Amino acid sequence: MSGGVDSSVAAHLLMEGGFCVEGLFMKNWEEDDGTEYCTAIEDLADARRVCETLGIPLHTANFSAEYWDNVFEDFLTEYRAGRTPNPDVLCNREIKFKQFADYAQHLGGEYIATGHYTRIDHDTPTPTLRKAADAGKDQTYFLQAVPRASFRNVLFPLGDRLKSDVRKLASDLGLHNHGRKDSTGICFIGERRFKDFLATYIKDDPGPMVDTGGQHIGEHHGLHYYTSGQRQGLHVGGLKNRPELPWYVAGKLPAINTLVVTQNEAELETSWLRAYEPNWIAECQLPLKCTARIRYRQDDQACEVRAAADGGLSVRFSSPQRAVTPGQYVAFYDGDILLGGAKILSTDTSRLSLLDHCRYDGH
């Protein structure tokens, strides 16, 4: 029970289905308690009020240490390595479907349930995850790294519902949070500026900014502040003999602390990527023709997946993809079935690899 409308309605639907339901509120972040950025106190109050309305008990558990060790430390490590992590994917694997599941079992629970917009089929030898009925809210992308076995005793009551219907039902039930705004962004950052948050944990390390031809363009503030395809925050403009076009992040060269930028959007596109730490939720044989998403809410993209010699995956797309980002995840699908996913390691950086061996003198 997060205090939001989705988990609240999920609890009601389970009760309506004949389950004996108890709520669990997870506290996953200790830093900044009581500040304007931390909503844990408000969230807990909302969860308690909902449980009182539904007439179910509410348990609380503090997984802050586990979150720090298994999610946040990885978040910092990835940024320091010049990659862009996705902590929401790791949170599902390490906390919601591991720590939460273990704690629920300790309390005597037979199943765990969440407010994820995902469908799950238990009438198959192993659980089958399917996209939600509400295509705009489907959250299978964030579940790709959860081990297959972890879904055996999981229920997703909202998988067949539209978000608009969930809000209406919450209103009809008299739940006070029926109009509560959906949470966005990374939970532990809240509404503060992302740059300000990162600066608290990662020291700024300015360096050169060059174009894909190796020409010096300016200075960056630290590679961790930038991600592939980024346009805002580069502060490049008015350069002599350069067209009045926007600049984009084309890549990073951590070994020489260099940010590569371009005005040619075609240089942001690639047809392949390398990925590692694959996790298969469905039984799959490689090579595999399927579809994939390299970011949340992206349309499915046709691709072929092959095994790489290092145990990772090589993924080639039928059409070029924009701003493939190392550190993010690629999710694989067969129609509406989530097959699994992997973490993106690298992409077509042939232009950048040539630069990696160069030194820049500002000319």
Where do the H-state alpha helices sit in the chain?
A: 5-16, 40-54, 64-67, 73-80, 87-91, 100-106, 163-172, 194-201, 350-355
Tell the residue number behind the tokens 């198959």, with chain if given: 124
What are the φ and ψ backbone dihedral angles of 257, each rounded to 5 degrees? 50, 50
Cα 11 from Cα 60, distance rounded (Å): 16
Tokens of 359: 């030194």
Q: Find out whether 219 and 208 touch, Cβ atoms under 8 Å.
A: yes
User: Which residues participate in catalysis according to the annotation?
Assistant: 91, 187
Cα 91 from Cα 70, distance rounded (Å): 8
State in Å, rounded, how far the first CA of the chain is from the last one: 57
Cα 227 from Cα 327, distance rounded (Å): 10
